[in-house]
């Protein structure tokens, strides 16, 4: 069985508010063929999100220009719990909920050259639209706490939006990890700020490369095969590096080790023909939940 992809780019994102390298910064791992058609790995550490976007534009252009099909993974949520776009009052007449949310965040959140942005104010504004209070986003530093954004977790019991997406519930139930809620913006293990700052760049890449698609939203039943990938040169997907063990080499940061190993992981799955299967959770999800995954929440490739 032939591979679906020729190159694998994995991104460990960062929501840092200033330029930073090393631990807890942006690491990009690239596994691609060299001139002798052998897979070689290289990584780069980039200090700001705008520079990372510029780098990705360049490497994707280079790889697709020589005929490669690229799998591009980011370690943040591509979607929010079902019902979020509607709760925000976004126009869903011509866009799926995920598309409306991506466009909304891209219009609101603008990274500056110094890596700063107004993500806490944007989250507070979305909280106001949803609940007129500090729900559902939470986890603000003291200087950013306002009446509609708290440093403390709100009570999700009986609320209009759940704390977790289906994928996070699935990973937790099957002891595959303890992913945090996308609503949590700060403190240990949080991923909310990564999604807020990352989704606008996924949106931008999708617009820059017309022959790109976002998985699983733009694929029938989430399946990747020669037919569904016809004419497509870039597939962007959410990844969860903690699914595999990554032991840092001497002098290597944990983030650098994770992008290296997750790139190899997806390459190995692809080589074995195990990368393109549709979303399956042993029939634990009904049609309604599967529809929510495909239209708004997203999923993690390979789980």
Give the model's confidence band at 135: pLDDT under 50 very low, under 70 low, under 90 confident, else very high: very high
pLDDT in tens, 174-201: 999 999 999 999 988 889 999 999 999 9
Domain count, the chain: 1
User: Residue 286: pLDDT band by 50, 70, 90 thresholds?
Assistant: confident
User: β-strands 70-74, 7-12: how paired?
Assistant: parallel
Residue 163 domain-assigned (yes or no): no
Residues sharing a CB contact under 8 Å with residue 58, sequence separation 6 or more, in sequence order: none
Residues of the chain above pLDDT 90, percent? 91
Is 206 a member of any domain? yes
Which tens digit of pLDDT belongs to each residue from 119-129? 999 999 999 99
- Is residue 233's pLDDT more than 90? yes
pLDDT value at position 282?
61
Residue 60: name the closest of 52, 216, 268, 46 by CA: 52
Residue 49 lies in a domain: yes
Q: How many C-beta atoms lie closer than 10 Å to residue 54's C-beta? A: 12
Whether 162 maps to a domain, the answer reads no
Q: Which structural domain range is residue 268 located in?
A: 7-77+195-297
Residues written for the chain: 303
pTM assigned to the model: 0.96
- Residue 212 inside a domain? The answer is yes
Strand order in the sheet with 212-214: 39-46, 26-33, 7-12, 70-74, 234-238, 212-214
Asked if 175 contacts 168 with a C-beta cutoff of 8 angstroms, the reply is: no
Q: Where does the pLDDT of residue 283 fall: very low under 50, low under 70, confident under 90, or very high at 90 and above?
A: low
- Is residue 1 pLDDT above 80, yes or no? no
Identify the pLDDT of residue 278: 82
Residue 277: the pLDDT is 83
Helices (H), the chain: 49-65, 84-87, 97-108, 119-131, 166-173, 192-208, 254-271, 287-292
Q: Is 266 a domain residue?
A: yes
What digits encode the pLDDT tens for the residues 265-274?
A: 999 999 999 9
Give ∠ CA 275-15-255 in degrees, rounded to 5.
55
Number of H helices, E strands in the chain: 8, 6
| Percent of the chain surpassing pLDDT 70 | 99
Residue 26 DSSP class: E
């Amino acid at each position: 069985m032939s591979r679906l992809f020729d190159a694998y780019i994995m991104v460990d994102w960062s929501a840092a508010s200033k330029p930073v390298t090393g631990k807890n910064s942006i690491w990009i791992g690239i596994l691609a063929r060299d001139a002798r058609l052998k897979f070689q790995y290289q990584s780069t550490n980039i200090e700001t999100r705008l520079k990372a976007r510029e780098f990705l534009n360049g490497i994707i252009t280079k790889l697709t220009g020589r005929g490669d099909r690229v799998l591009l993974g980011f370690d943040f949520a591509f979607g929010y719990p079902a019902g979020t776009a509607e709760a925000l009052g976004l126009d869903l007449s011509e866009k799926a909920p995920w598309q409306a949310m991506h466009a909304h965040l891209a219009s609101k959140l603008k990274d500056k050259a110094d890596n700063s942005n107004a993500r806490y104010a944007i989250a507070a504004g979305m909280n106001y639209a949803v609940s007129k209070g500090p729900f559902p986003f939470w986890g603000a530093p003291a200087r950013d706490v306002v009446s509609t954004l708290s440093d403390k977790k709100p009570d999700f019991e009986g609320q209009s939006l759940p704390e977790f997406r289906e994928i996070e519930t699935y990973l937790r139930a099957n002891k595959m990890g303890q992913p945090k809620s996308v609503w949590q913006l700060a403190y240990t293990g949080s991923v909310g700020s990564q999604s807020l700052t990352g989704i606008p760049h996924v949106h931008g890449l999708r617009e820059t490369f017309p022959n790109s698609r976002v998985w699983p939203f733009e694929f029938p039943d989430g399946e990747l095969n020669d037919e569904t990938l016809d004419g497509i040169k870039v597939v962007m997907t959410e990844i969860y590096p903690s699914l595999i063990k990554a032991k840092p080499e001497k002098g290597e940061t944990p983030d650098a080790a994770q992008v290296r190993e997750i790139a190899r992981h997806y390459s190995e799955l692809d080589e074995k023909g195990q990368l393109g299967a549709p979303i399956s959770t042993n029939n634990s999800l009904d049609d309604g939940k599967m529809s929510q995954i495909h239209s708004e929440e997203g999923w993690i490739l390979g789980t």
